């Protein structure tokens, strides 16, 4: 097991919300009002994402292929990632990384 993972699991590397939690007696729990978009706003956003994907279809395909290729090597991925972010959605980029490295499943 890698050192980071070992320290995270044994608690010697405290990470708030993962292996360390706030004391429930520190301050009272407050209810927060969530801001929710309307159905029209949701549909508008979905339409814009589809239009973005359609407009950048060819460039996105090439950028994702390059991203996948670089992710499989020891090359610096940052520049390729920034290029992909110009023509790809976060979901497309995430799916490409899942293809290369698999999807993380947290042990609970």
pLDDT tens digits for the chain (108 residues)?
578 778 877 878 888 777 777 666 666 667 888 889 999 999 999 999 999 999 999 999 999 999 999 999 988 999 999 999 999 999 999 999 999 988 777 776
pLDDT reported for residue 35: 87
Cβ 45 vs Cβ 25: under 8 Å: no
pTM above 0.75, yes or no: no
Rounded Cα–Cα distance for residues 24 and 64 (Å): 44
Q: What is the dihedral of CA 42, 46, 51, 57, to 10 degrees?
A: 160
The DSSP code for 14 is -
CA 3 from centre of chain: 23
pLDDT reported for residue 25: 67
Per-state percent for the chain, helix, strand, coil, to nearest 5: 55, 0, 40
20 DSSP β-pair partners: 16
Q: Is 88 exposed, middle or buried (0-12, 13-18, 19+ CB in 10 A)?
A: buried
The DSSP code for 72 is T
Cβ 92 vs Cβ 60: under 8 Å: yes
Cβ 4 vs Cβ 13: under 8 Å: yes
């Amino acid at each position: 097991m890698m050192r980071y993972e070992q320290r995270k699991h044994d608690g010697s590397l405290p990470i708030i919300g993962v292996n360390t939690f706030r004391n429930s007696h520190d301050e009272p729990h407050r209810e927060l009002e969530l801001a929710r978009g309307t159905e029209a706003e949701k549909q508008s956003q979905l339409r814009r994402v589809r239009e973005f994907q359609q407009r950048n279809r060819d460039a996105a395909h090439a950028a994702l292929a390059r991203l996948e290729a670089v992710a499989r090597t020891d090359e610096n991925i940052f520049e390729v990632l920034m290029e992909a972010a110009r023509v790809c959605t976060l979901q497309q980029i995430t799916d490409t990384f899942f293809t290369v490295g698999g999807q993380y499943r947290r042990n609970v």
